[in-house]
Chain A
Amino acid sequence: MKHLTKIKTFKITQHGEIILFLICLLSMLFTLPSPALAHKVSVFAWVEGDTVHTQSKFFGGKKLNDARVNVFDAAGNLLLEGRTDAGGEFSFTAPERAEMKIVVSAGMGHQADWTVRATDFADLPEVSSSIDANASQPSTPFPIVQTGSSPTHNPAFPADSKEIQIIFEKALDKKLTPVIKMLLEAREQPPGMRDILGGIGYIVGLVGLAAYFSSRKKKDALKQ
């Protein structure tokens, strides 16, 4: 008789046990020390002058080390390839200022891509040598009045508006790069409670539908 009462006390609902298991699983999510949801890889890229920098990582933060990077042009031709370093970064000089697709493969079927648009490249004229000359003379003061000599030949005073534009763009790039990186990182949202509840909600809905239709079938069968 005693053993019958034991069975009675264990009778929760039919599926209480699995629900308990599910709750344990969910709680594991919150107790695991490093929730680096590394099941998807992601890559993003930004442009500084003519250099394209890429940053690849597992979804959730872990940097992707030594992953293969392939760069394709808009037509799908392979332009160049390389590997990410320990920080997940890989940079290259853009062969042309056109749209290109960067594909990162981490092995085991993990892959991600990012498309660099032609508009990401600043609209810079191809003038670089005069800038380097300017940079090597930081102590030369700005003359206020310039008479007689052509502006492009005077290394101390970049009167040419193109050169000003290039300096300006470079300074902007330097300032904006960390901001762009922050924005791109912020765009990635690791799966949250909302997504979990959404998914489980759909499953519950499907189960409900299936149960409803099966009970209707049974009712119809009974009627006959």
Chain B
Amino acid sequence: MHISEGVLSAPVLISGGVLALAGTAVGLKKIDYEHIAQVGVLSSAFFVASLVHVNVGPSSVHLILNGLVGLILGWTAFPAILVALILQAVFFQFGGITTLGVNTVVMAFPAVVCYYAFSAVRHKNNTIAMAAAFLCGFTAVFLSALIMGVSLVFTEENFWEVSWLIVIAHLPLMIIEGIITLFSLMFLKKVHPAMLEK
């Protein structure tokens, strides 16, 4: 899901950078210094997650975990993901430096959306909470695939075709992430519900 250097046109890269900066600024303002360690741990989880890959036919996709990160951190997902992406670019050569802005928006924006959309996770009824958790993980990857399609539309010919391909390629990942988010959030809810309070 990381877009490599040299693929996107300059306007896309610049707008991606601006959006990422804006998101990060909001995220830094809303950062909860009492629970700063949480931010670090989730950023590390995101950092490592892209090494865990899922083979899908001709191509291969990797875990993103942005649903989980967004649900727990909210807007702070932006700086957390930005830092993790920078480290991935430096240590793993995933993605690029010029594409940092776009990649951050691709992964962090759905995280924030899911934060607002799936607060039902905190619901007392377990079934509703589980459904919300699964959908959170699922939708985050889906939205990321869509935003990726949007950013690639200026290089590839057909937006619908490209986006459709990306979404299909990530479908198994959406399901897997939904399940992972489900188990993680259920575990957290039982053991440390305070972490979900926001």
A interface, CB within 8 angstroms of B: 10, 14-15, 17-19, 21-22, 25-26, 28-29, 32, 34, 36-41, 58, 62, 65, 103, 105-113, 191, 195-196, 198-200, 202-204, 206-207, 210-211, 214
Across the interface, name the chain A residue whose C-beta is closest to B188.
Answer: A17
Give the chain B neighbours of A106 by CB distance below 8 A. 59
Q: How large is the interface on B (under 10, 10 to 19, 20 to 34, 35 or more residues)?
A: 35 or more
Give the chain A neighbours of B1 by CB distance below 8 A. 108
Give the chain B neighbours of A40 by CB distance below 8 A. 2, 4, 92-94
Q: Which of A37, A62, A206 contacts B40 (CB 8 A)?
A: A206
Interfacial residues of chain B within 43-62, with CB under 8 A of chain A in the complex: 43-45, 47-53, 55, 58-60, 62
A111 pairs with B192, CB closer than 8 A: no
A203 pairs with B48, CB closer than 8 A: no
Sample 17 A-B pairs with CB under 8 A, ordered by A number.
A15-B37, A40-B93, A40-B94, A108-B148, A109-B8, A109-B152, A111-B5, A191-B92, A196-B51, A196-B91, A198-B87, A199-B90, A202-B83, A203-B44, A203-B84, A204-B40, A210-B33
Give the chain A neighbours of B51 by CB distance below 8 A. 29, 37, 191, 196
Give the chain B neighbours of A110 by CB distance below 8 A. 4, 7
Give the chain B neighbours of A62 by CB distance below 8 A. 60
Instruction: Please count the residue pairs between chain A and chain B whose beta carbons lie under 8 angstroms apart in the complex.
Output: 141
Across the interface, name the chain B residue whose C-beta is closest to A205.
Answer: B40
B88 pairs with A32, CB closer than 8 A: no
B87 pairs with A14, CB closer than 8 A: no
Could you tell me the distance in whole angstroms from the C-beta of A178 to the nearest C-beta in chain B? 26
A191 pairs with B91, CB closer than 8 A: yes
Give the chain A neighbours of B7 by CB distance below 8 A. 105, 109-111
Interfacial residues of chain B within 1-53, with CB under 8 A of chain A in the complex: 1-8, 31, 33, 35-45, 47-53
Give the chain A neighbours of B97 by CB distance below 8 A. none
Considering the chains assembled together, what is the distance between the CA atoms of A39 and B93 in angstroms? Answer: 9
B165 at the interface (CB under 8 A from A): yes
Give the chain A neighbours of B59 by CB distance below 8 A. 38, 58, 106-108
B169 at the interface (CB under 8 A from A): yes
Give the chain B neighbours of A103 by CB distance below 8 A. 6
Question: Besides the contacts A22-B44, A199-B44, what 15 more A-B pairs have beta carbons closer than 8 Å?
Answer: A15-B41, A17-B191, A19-B41, A29-B52, A39-B60, A111-B4, A191-B51, A195-B91, A199-B47, A199-B88, A199-B91, A203-B47, A207-B36, A210-B33, A210-B36
B2 pairs with A203, CB closer than 8 A: no
Across the interface, name the chain B residue whose C-beta is closest to A58.
Answer: B60
A203 pairs with B40, CB closer than 8 A: yes
Q: Which of B37, B40, B60 contacts A14 (CB 8 A)?
A: B37
B184 at the interface (CB under 8 A from A): yes
Could you tell me the distance in whole angstroms from the C-beta of A67 to the nearest C-beta in chain B? 10
Give the chain A neighbours of B87 by CB distance below 8 A. 198-199, 202-203
The 4 A-B pairs of least Cβ separation, nearest first, read A38-B60, A207-B40, A109-B3, A214-B33
Give the chain A neighbours of B49 by CB distance below 8 A. 25
Give the chain A neighbours of B45 by CB distance below 8 A. 18, 21-22, 25
A34 pairs with B55, CB closer than 8 A: yes
Known: A19-B41, A203-B43. A39 touches B91 (CB 8 A): no
Considering the chains assembled together, what is the distance between the CA atoms of A22 and B33 in angstroms? Answer: 21
A203 pairs with B192, CB closer than 8 A: no
